[in-house]
């Protein structure tokens, strides 16, 4: 009899832990993406076009739970004589996971990139002849974000930027303030 009572207590405690975990993962809707949600943040990562680091800022505005616009500005640091300023306007379609603490989103959008092509003419004088190449393009990609707090989110995003002669993959991690 005592063995079955111990088993019952153990089963009850395991069921209680599972119930608490389930409620904590599924009941907290404070992190849900809602209409009018705005966020502002910083991002950093890697771009394959000139194989260098990229850093920038973004702003997001949710028009509904499953649609938001996300303009951003990125700078690709100079490597192999090239650096760039990129301005993007992307549309995200977020889907909440795990009680909306996680969200995944496909993205698509427009891109304007201004590439600076540097050619060192004379190393002693350090003369830097510079050419600029401007391109319009399109973005397609996806991301995942984690709502750490109701006012803080972390994200990873990967996108492919189609532009004439300068196609690239851009991979970033970001941190943002939600207001």
CA dihedral 129, 135, 140, 145 (to 10 degrees): 50
Q: Given this model, what pLDDT does residue 33 score?
A: 79
Q: pLDDT value at position 126?
A: 59
3-state DSSP assignment of residue 113: strand
Distances, alpha carbon 5 to alpha carbons 1, 11, 17, 105, in Å: 6, 10, 18, 49
What pLDDT is stored for residue 96 in this prediction?
87
pLDDT at position 80: 86
Take residue 146 and report the two structure tokens written for it.
């984690």
Give the model's pLDDT for residue 24.
43
The pLDDT value given to residue 8: 44
Residue in 156, 138, 62 with CA at minimum distance from that of residue 102: 156
Q: Give the model's pLDDT for residue 31.
A: 61
Could you list the pLDDT tens digit for every one of the 179 residues in the chain?
554 445 445 444 544 544 444 444 444 444 667 889 999 999 999 999 889 999 999 999 999 999 999 999 999 999 988 999 999 999 999 998 877 799 999 999 999 999 998 876 655 555 555 789 999 999 999 999 999 999 999 999 999 999 998 999 999 999 999 99
What is the per-residue pLDDT for 5? 47
């Amino acid at each position: 009899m005592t063995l079955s009572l111990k088993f019952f207590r153990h089963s009850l405690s395991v069921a209680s832990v599972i119930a608490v975990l389930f409620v904590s993962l599924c009941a907290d809707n404070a992190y849900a993406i809602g209409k009018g949600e705005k966020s502002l943040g910083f991002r950093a990562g890697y771009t394959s076009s000139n194989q260098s680091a990229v850093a920038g800022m973004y702003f997001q505005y949710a028009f509904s739970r499953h649609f938001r616009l996300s303009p951003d500005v990125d700078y690709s640091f100079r490597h192999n004589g090239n650096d760039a300023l990129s301005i993007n306007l992307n549309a995200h379609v977020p889907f909440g996971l795990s009680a909306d603490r996680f969200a995944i989103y496909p993205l698509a959008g427009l891109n304007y990139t201004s590439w600076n092509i540097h050619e060192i003419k004379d190393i002693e004088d350090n003369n830097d002849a510079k050419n600029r190449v401007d391109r319009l393009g399109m973005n397609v990609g996806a991301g995942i974000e984690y709502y750490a707090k109701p006012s803080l989110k972390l994200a990873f995003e990967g996108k492919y930027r189609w532009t004439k002669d300068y196609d690239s993959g851009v991979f970033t991690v970001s941190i943002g303030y939600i207001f």
